[in-house]
Structure 1
């Protein structure tokens, strides 16, 4: 059963940019500093309406310095989305750590996905907007290029019944991704209450995804 396990997250676990304060930039990796400023502004403003000059001002550098790293707003937002996926994967790894077996760890990563999205709705919306389309090199769910994609495929392959083929694994991966992504969107949109017990009960009805997809291939 692909049941999302209930996890106790505090603000420091999943909230991005909560404790970052505006300060002048002095030295080091300017690109990373600009991205961190952008993540903070996303959280504070609650939407993706972030400009390059605003990020420059909040970081304490000139607009010219920002343009050296991000030629336009789209480039900046794309970088923020990529940073969001890295932070999401870090949260999933932390959630899975210490679980007694791979199946419980996999369930924990699904729970972490939903919690991260709900705690960071503006960032999650940006991540969704910049999620690669199917067939693109960095496609999230099935790509061998992304950390999240690699982790998802490895977990699916390990948890599916022995002898399951590639098609069955692809179907299971897509369905697992659709479950947590769709659930996150519904909670953020208010169509589903942000109630972990209710969410877990709904996911309990998902069924035995491993065996059903293995049978579908036979």
Structure 2
């Protein structure tokens, strides 16, 4: 990584950007405040004016990462030009693709090493919880429209998230070299979720080829 030139008013944002760049190729455990400050072209003590310790920087990075996933997921799941099933499908891909494109950030967000910090910024039970809330609301939309079975939306959301998170984690950690099966495994995971949670009473509208088996005639969703 090269040192950056900066304006004093931009130092904090520059330090954050450098930290995010660092995570593209390095584990968060290897991040050192002094190193990031040095990369910014400032003294090693400069970063402490903005982050008193590594935990504070990590907290900031977590908020950024969760918001990136949330905004991408929100864009897909609220796209009313697509059938709801297609939105679910693309939403899951957003989650998996974020993991593949940002493996170290993904491990930071969902791993155990900094669970104590995540608990400060992320509460899955909160109504406005980023990422999870937009997933849960889309599940509830499907339930209201009769597309999904009417059971606990929180539990369904957790199960959906668990499925995508599990696959994403296996892919970025190179488990059994399954990355070449990425699309096939994702499609089968999604199909299993449809089998578990689709209502049997409605017609499913979707452009996804393997969703055809779930389509019922005569009743519009």
Output the TM-score relative to the length of structure 2.
0.73
Match of 1:178 among 154, 162, 167: 162
Matches within 5 A, 1:54-203: 54-96=35-77, 97=79, 99-129=81-111, 130=114, 138-140=122-124, 142-161=125-144, 168-191=152-175, 193-194=178-179, 195-203=182-190
| Distance in structure 1 (CA, Å) of the matches to 2:64 and 2:107 | 13
Q: CA RMSD in A?
A: 3.2
| Distance in structure 2 (CA, Å) of the matches to 1:119 and 1:176 | 21
Give the Å deviation of 1:154: 1.2
| Distance in structure 1 (CA, Å) of the matches to 2:188 and 2:57 | 39
Matched residue count: 192
Asked if 1 retains the 8 angstrom alpha-carbon contact of 2:15 and 2:40, the reply is yes
After TM superposition, which residue ranges in structure 1, 4 or more long, deviate above 6 angstroms?
Answer: 132-137, 163-167
| Distance in structure 2 (CA, Å) of the matches to 1:169 and 1:94 | 21
5+ unaligned residues in a row in structure 1: which ranges? 1-19, 213-218
SS of the aligned residue for 1:25 comes to: coil
Q: 1:169 and 1:83, CA in 2 relative to 1: closer, same or farther beyond 3 A? A: same
5+ unaligned residues in a row in structure 2: which ranges? 201-221
Asked if 1 retains the 8 angstrom alpha-carbon contact of 2:149 and 2:197, the reply is no
Higher helix share: 2
Larger CA deviation: 55-64 vs 125-134:
125-134
Match of 2:20 among 25, 35, 39: 39
- Does residue 51 (structure 1) correspond to residue 35 (structure 2)? The answer is no
Asked if 1 retains the 8 angstrom alpha-carbon contact of 2:3 and 2:38, the reply is no
Output the TM-score relative to the length of structure 1.
0.74
Q: Which entry has the higher C-alpha Rg, 1 or 2? A: 2
Give the Å deviation of 1:210: 4.5
Q: 1:116 and 1:30, CA in 2 relative to 1: closer, same or farther beyond 3 A? A: same
Give the Å deviation of 1:92: 2.6
Q: 1:45 and 1:138, CA in 2 relative to 1: closer, same or farther beyond 3 A? A: closer
Give the Å deviation of 1:113: 0.4
Give the Å deviation of 1:143: 2.6
